[in-house]
Amino acid sequence: MLQQFNQLMDYIECHLTEGITGTDISRIVGMSDYHFKRMFSYLSGMSLNEYIKNRRLSLANVELINGAKVTDIAFKYGYQSIEGFSRAFREWCGFLPSEVAKNKIQKSFPKFTFIIDIRGGNSMEFKIEKKEKFNIVGVAKRVPIQFEGVNNSILELAQSITKQQRDEMHKLADLYPHYVLNVSYDFDDSYLEEKGNLTHMIGFATTKDNPFEDLEQITIEESFWAIFPNEGPFPAMLQETTAKIYSEWLPSADYEITDLPGISFTKHNGASENVYSEVWISVKKKEIK
């Protein structure tokens, strides 16, 4: 996997003055651009969008020092106006492009290279489990893509569930874990802007088809799942487990992510100090190349 990551870094380097699409990412790293974007953020400490912006501005800095015109550089690196470029450039290095060109001020941001860094020695508990085709029935809405903090749109979705909907979901629930599932899928291809939405469903796993008009249903095809149990302060432990899946487990695992929805659940017991949760990631064995 590290080889594919470094191939993508090389590809980005060669296309910094062009558009880089989610299709480009998926083709090179062998996973959806959403999953790579999430993994990149956990591995590097910044978003892929921020990395690309920093690399573009770093190269723009060099060209300005070498005498290039601000207008030419702004449009070369994808900015629609000189004002927009100047604002982004000043936010990046603290100086206007004209000041950098005049005073030969240099700031660099090197290209990333991914390497194996062995440390810690902490193991992650997980199991690989095959699940037959099943349904999830519940309520769903489009919400903003957000990797950290409380997603208020999801909170609003949860608060909107009526007693009738809860009763209907419980009537259908006949599969593990018999708890409310949080399911994310159908992501927008808008990683460069750090914008876009996904569909989030709150519901229950079932073998039954949904007969209720006020509930929605999605079908999860047969797959293998990497299941990561965790227990501790909520939501910190759940978020930490998710981060470790992408930053530690996936890069060294014999599995790769598939494009089925991501699933998690939490057994809320009224307290937040020691809460049990599970994160489910649909996976398949890596192909030997």
- Each residue of 136-187: pLDDT tens digit? 999 999 998 876 667 899 999 999 999 999 999 999 999 999 999 999 998 8
CA distance 209 to 216: 10
Sign of CA dihedral 170, 174, 178, 183: negative
Check residue 190 and give its pLDDT. 53
Check: CB of residue 85 under 8 Å from CB of residue 123. no
Residue 206 C-beta-side C-alpha neighbours within 13 Å = 19
CA distance 161 to 182: 14
Range in 32-36, 265-269, 272-276 the model is least confident about? 32-36
Bridge partners for 206 per DSSP: 135
User: Which domains does the chain show, CATH number per domain?
Assistant: 2-103 (1.10.10.60), 127-285 (3.20.80.10)
pLDDT over threshold 60, residue 120: no
Range in 13-22, 48-57, 58-67, 243-252 the model is least confident about? 243-252
Cα 114 off chain centre by:
18
Check: CB of residue 138 under 8 Å from CB of residue 263. no
Check residue 30 and give its pLDDT. 82
Mean pLDDT of the chain: 88
Range in 39-43, 61-65, 189-193, 207-211 the model is least confident about? 189-193
Bridge partners for 106 per DSSP: none
* Average pLDDT score over residue span 180-198: 75
In the three-class reduction of DSSP (H, G, I as helix; E, B as strand; rest coil), residue 236 is classed as helix
**pTM of the full predicted structure?**
0.72
Check: CB of residue 283 under 8 Å from CB of residue 255. yes
Long-range contacts formed by 273-276: CB under 8 A, 24+ apart: 273/233, 274/231, 274/232, 274/233, 275/231, 275/232, 275/233, 275/234, 275/237, 275/238, 276/229, 276/230, 276/231
| pLDDT, greater one: 206 or 198 | 206
